[in-house]
Amino acid sequence: DAKTTQPNSMESNEEEPVHLPCNHSTISGTDYIHWYRQLPSQGPEYVIHGLTSNVNNRMASLAIAEDRKSSTLILHRATLRDAAVYYCIRDQGAQKLVFGQGTRLTINP
Amino acid sequence: SQTIHQWPATLVQPVGSPLSLECTVEGTSNPNLYWYRQAAGRGLQLLFYSVGIGQISSEVPQNLSASRPQDRQFILSSKKLLLSDSGFYLCAWSLGLAGGTDTQYFGPGTRLTVL
């Protein structure tokens, strides 16, 4: 079971940080956590991934709990273009991704 | 750099008609290829994936089929479309890295409406 749990929706204001949570309580020690996002009427795009330690790239930061049962995607300064559905996915190394319902992020101007 | 193409961008087809959607990737060799479907307001459902020419794995039984006639070409087909086949069809590619670090790159999608 590659299930992750995310809130259905979140709302934030422009230029403020956004913390998107994800629970993956049954994760195994070798499963990576991947985040993708899907802008309206587009295909998903890769955001970030990590295993144990926190990760940063130009798009976002990923904070992984010490017990790895949860993680948080951090957008440091949200813009209107960050409005999208964000998917948290456990990658079990099978070269297949199982997308859940994700979190619909709304950014208010 | 790598590019993924899908066509057509939109398609309206009658029930019972055939379907052929094409996906091509440029700038990489021997990619993993994937077909997903997204019904209106729903998440992505993996339909097929391929790790090489002629190798197709089906994830969900349905009236769709996939083929990979060339290394960087992936085709989704149906002999007779159903109303339930309507949706947003997405093709994706990846390098096929093992160990959970593989990243998928998605095409622009085809929006199919079956009437």
Give yes or no for a contact between B93 and A24, defined as CB atoms under 8 angstroms apart: no
Q: How far apart are CA B38 and CA B25, in angstroms?
A: 21
User: What's the pLDDT tens digit per position in B16-37?
Assistant: 999 999 999 999 999 999 999 9
pLDDT at A46: 96
Give yes or no for a contact between B62 and B51, defined as CB atoms under 8 angstroms apart: no
**Cβ atoms < 10 Å from Cβ of A50:** 19
Q: How far apart are CA B101 and CA A20, in angstroms?
A: 21
Give the position of tokens 């096929």. Answer: B96
* Distance between B40 CA and the closest CA of chain A, angstroms: 11
Asked if B103 is an interface residue toward chain A (Cβ–Cβ < 8 A), one would say: yes
Q: Which of A46, A93, A102 sits opposite B104 (nearest CB)?
A: A46
* Distance between B5 CA and the closest CA of chain A, angstroms: 12
User: What's the pLDDT tens digit per position in A72-103?
Assistant: 999 999 999 999 999 999 887 777 788 889 99
Q: How far apart are CA A52 and CA B64, in angstroms?
A: 39
List of residues 6+ apart from A83 with CB closer than 8 A? A39, A40, A105, A106, A107
| Helix (H), strand (E), coil (C) string for A82-93 | HCEEEEEEEECC
User: Where does chain A have alpha helices with state H?
Assistant: none
Terminal Cα distance for chain B, rounded: 38
Max CA distance (Å), chain A: 40
Are residues B100 and A92, on separate chains, in Cβ contact within 8 Å? Answer: yes
User: What's the pLDDT tens digit per position in A6-16?
Assistant: 999 999 999 99
Binning pLDDT at 50, 70 and 90, where does residue A2 land? low
A interface test, pick of B91, B102, B110, B111 with most A CB neighbours within 10 Å: B102
User: What's the pLDDT tens digit per position in B31-88?
Assistant: 999 999 999 888 899 999 999 999 999 988 789 999 999 999 999 999 999 999 999 9
Identify the CA nearest to A86 among candidates A30, A48, A32: A48
All residues of chain A having their beta carbon less than 8 Å from the beta carbon of residue B21 are none
Angle at B105 between CA A103 and CA A96, to 5 degrees: 75
